Amino acid sequence: MDHALRNSLFALVALAAGPAPASGQEPKTRVEQVREDQAAFEDSAEWIYNNLEEGTAAARSSGKPLLVVHRCVP
């Protein structure tokens, strides 16, 4: 599989869960997980974060299909 595509797909599926804490590290709080997810996706060029209206408008103007992920972060 193409490396860039694999990275994109992996981000799509896995990032919300966050990396497992290293040994001895405190696990992330739920608030920290939300903030980390927000930081990773809000300014992403590939993703529209938590705004369906913006996504629908972008799909309409670009002619591309919409891929809407519902991801339970906290």
Partner 1 sequence: MDRFVCVRMIQANAMDLTRFQFDYDMSFAVTFLNADGTVYGRYGSRSATGDEADRDISLAGLKSTLEAVLALHEDYPSNRELLSGKQPRPVARTRPEQFPGLGRYPPAVDFAGQPVASCLHCHQIQEAMRLEWRERGETAPEKVLYPWPMPETVGFSMDPATLATVDAVEKGTAAEKAGLRPGDSIAEAGGQAVVSTADLQWVLHHAGEAENVGLTIQRDETSLNLGLELEKGWRKQSDIAWRVSTWDLRRMVLGGMFLETVGREERSKLGIEQGRMALRARHVGEFGEHAVAKSAGLRKGDIIVGFDGSEADLNESALIARILQEHQAGGEVEVVALREGERLEVRLKVQ
Binding residues for partner 1, rule: CB under 8 A, are: 1, 5-6, 8-10, 12-14, 16-17, 30-31, 34-35, 37-38, 41, 46-52, 54-56, 58-60, 62-74
Closest to partner 1 by CB, 5 vs 22, is 5
Cα–Cα distance, 11 to 6 (Å, whole number): 9
Could you tell me the smallest distance in angstroms from the CB atom of residue 28 to partner 1? 12
CA angle 39–40–41, rounded 5-degree value = 95
With a CB cutoff of 8 Å and minimum separation 6, the contacts of 16 are 33, 37, 71, 72, 73
Could you tell me the smallest distance in angstroms from the CB atom of residue 26 to partner 1? 17
